[in-house]
Structure 1
Amino acid sequence: MSDFRTLAKRAFRMPTVRRQVHQAPPTTVEPVAVPEPSSLIDSALYRDGSRVYTPDSLAETYRLARADPATMAWIGLRRPTEAELTSLATEFDLHELALEDAMEAHQRAKLERYGETLFVVLRAARYLDASETVEFSELHLFVGPGFVLTVRHGSVPDLSAVRRRMESEPELLSSGPEAVLYAIFDAVVDGYAPVVAGLQNDIDEIETEVFGGDPAVSRRIYELSREVVEFQRAVRPLSGMLRSLAAGWEKYGVDEELRRYLRDVADHAASVMEQVDTFRQALADMLTVNATLVAQQQNAEMKALTEASFEQNEEIKKVSAWAAILFAPTLIGTIYGMNFDFMPETHWRFGYPMAIGMMAATCVCLFVIFKRRNWL
């Protein structure tokens, strides 16, 4: 990196001058009216990779930047108000479409160029061990000649750590806005590693639950699949974004060492994407296996119910057969138990043996019939 500092000064050098909307002398320009910011996390101006000013408001940042055009302004905000974004747009000539996206959030990961300014949307992620879920956050960046603006809509990534890293490497930071953009890309992609590890652990647990017969596993597979798809949407655009960024840096003569760093980030992003694709396929396979196991379990339960019903029917047939056998003598006894004066068999010497014989014969006959039909 012997020529790093010399080439770094060419970073983001465009055909036009810096902040072309404010070319008047600093003593004759009134600061843009800005409300007291509640979302300003950190604001600093850097010269040759070192922090030279630490303003405590946007208005002060604007004033110092105009007074020292050789500096680079790096402003970090979290959930800024519309008035704050409007003041930034006025000061740095931000495009209204990019400003609208930054204000509304809920954007896909993308990289767009508006004149001399790059507008970048990144989807950062964090794995929450307590709930075993993935939390996604949005980060918007405006990168132009002499300035970097970061607008966060969540708790990740930790841009204060990125700022500390860059301030500890003034030679890298002296490259200008491109170095900051690289460092933020690097932090976001590095933040995906714990998410990948957490998802891998969840998938391993689900695999155990699938073959362990846990009835709630289907819901967990579905919920984890949704997280993986969301993660995939965050990571997939990065490859194209980084290729486009690398092409632009080559066009504008950004230092080769910094471009090499960017290619390393692209490699990491591609590796994460491969793992996410593997996760999605694994979950799809698990869902299929789980559906098969559930179907087999349902078939086994249905078979058991059918067998139980068959056994119950067999018992009912036996009960019915014995009831019929017992009903025959009861019927005969009932007939001859009627109190009629003119019933010849009641006065016959062999009437009683005949009735008993009829009862026995009927019972034997029914028993034989039911036995042949396997009812008994």
Structure 2
Amino acid sequence: MLAAMDLHLITTNGAEPRPIGELAGLLAGDTGFVWVDIPYCDDQAVHVLSEVFGFHPLAVKDCVERNRVPKMHAYAEYVFVVLHAPEDGERGHVHYLELDQFIGPNYLVTVHGPSNPAVSAEAPLRETRAALERIEKGRLRPDSPFGLSHAIVAALIRNQEEYVEQVTADVWRLEQQVTGGTVDDPEAFLNNLFRARHGLLAVRTMSALSSAIYGRMAGLPDLPGDDATLVADTADRFTRVRRIADGEREYLQGVIEFYQSILTITATIVAQTQNDKVQRLTEASYAQNEEVKKISAWAAIFFAPSLVAAVYGMNFDDMPELHWRVGYPFALALMVAAGAALHHAFKRRGWL
């Protein structure tokens, strides 16, 4: 709705709020320049962007839809820029807060791209509201649309730096847990490590791509000298954030590798301990088997004479050996021979 758009006339005296209905007249005037801030791109905003400003349909479409990466398009009368700022989400998710800009000869249009419903309504407006507050307090007096854009993007860059600082504090805390040996839940700790790396990688990507597009913008042939200086300064600031994020990401990677080494060493020690226990159990089982063999061998040796004695101890009248003169010594000899034969067989097999 029209009421959702904020229109200000920026002059040397500050920012003068104006009703959105005066936009066309202000654009035709020669006093200061116009700043239109659009919190969300609805049908009325699309109408203003398309009919009042006459922006390219693809640029307007980019304001309505979410853009995954920063971009810049230089048109004949204006430059269209898409940037992102990070915002913390649940379980380590990083929300991309989109800021679109149309920078023209006498106007700046800032459009806050679609945001995840989980993000507060105030978060995407931080940079533009911070710039407006500075103007109202007299601490910022932009003399061109590029000057105001520079101030807004500078606030966005500070938010990126603060995000890196926040993640860095988490990295230091995680490192202290590793070096102090106070990691109680390895799985949760690894999740925290990789969430921190994800956050640094997200900011690193934002700043690297933004630095590239501002570097390209600084080379535009029709850009005035002062504005070119501001654009080049913005590119340098994005490069600085990218380098800081890279440095912290490398530091975090060292912490991750150190902790992974600890886990590997611990797992090796545990495995070695288990192997030792298994070996001792195997040795005990082997010794037990040897004893069982010996017992079984002696039982078989004594079983043979017992079998002979049992047969010859049967006092049946019809036994052929009952009245045999050599029956008794033969029985003894048979028992001895059977026991000796079994003893010799078990001895050869190593059971005795």
TM-score higher than 0.5 here?
Answer: yes
1:124 maps to what in 2? 85
Within the alignment, does 1:81 sit opposite 2:42 as a pair? yes
Within the alignment, does 1:220 sit opposite 2:192 as a pair? yes
Number of residue pairs matched?
Answer: 322
1:204 to 146, 151, 172: 172
SS where residue 265 of structure 2 aligns? helix
Aligned-partner residue type, residue 190 of structure 1: R
When normalised by structure 1's length, the TM-score is 0.71
2:6 to 36, 42, 47: 42
Larger Rg: 2
Structure 1 position 236, deviation (Å): 0.8
Within the alignment, does 1:231 sit opposite 2:200 as a pair? no
Kept after mapping to 1: 8 A contact 2:88/2:95:
yes
Structure 1 position 265, deviation (Å): 4.4
* Structure 2, unaligned runs of 5 or more: 116-122, 315-320
1:346, 1:76 → 2: CA distance?
A: 125
Distance 1:348 1:221, change over 3 A: farther
1:306 to 266, 269, 275: 275
Within the alignment, does 1:276 sit opposite 2:237 as a pair? no
SS where residue 340 of structure 1 aligns? helix
Q: How does 1:10-25 map to 2 (within 5 A)?
A: none
| Superposed CA RMSD | 3.8
Distance 1:351 1:205, change over 3 A: farther
Kept after mapping to 1: 8 A contact 2:134/2:140:
no
1:106 to 67, 70, 90: 67
2:18 maps to what in 1? 54
Summarize deviations over 1:298-327 as a string: whole Å, max 9, x none: 322322222122111110011111112222
2:243, 2:177 → 1: CA distance?
A: 25
Aligned-partner residue type, residue 72 of structure 1: F
Summarize deviations over 1:27-77 as a string: whole Å, max 9, x none: xxxxxxxxx347x2522233444334431xx4x143552574535221212
Distance 1:325 1:167, change over 3 A: same
2:249, 2:150 → 1: CA distance?
A: 29
When normalised by structure 2's length, the TM-score is 0.75
2:13, 2:264 → 1: CA distance?
A: 64
2:286 to 317, 321, 343: 317
Summarize deviations over 1:132-172 as a string: whole Å, max 9, x none: 66443111111112221111134235121211112333872
Kept after mapping to 1: 8 A contact 2:27/2:34:
no
1:165, 1:224 → 2: CA distance?
A: 33
1:179 to 131, 147, 168: 147
Kept after mapping to 1: 8 A contact 2:215/2:231:
no
Structure 1 position 370, deviation (Å): 7.5
Kept after mapping to 2: 8 A contact 1:48/1:170:
no
Distance 1:157 1:334, change over 3 A: farther
Report sequence identity in percent.
Answer: 18
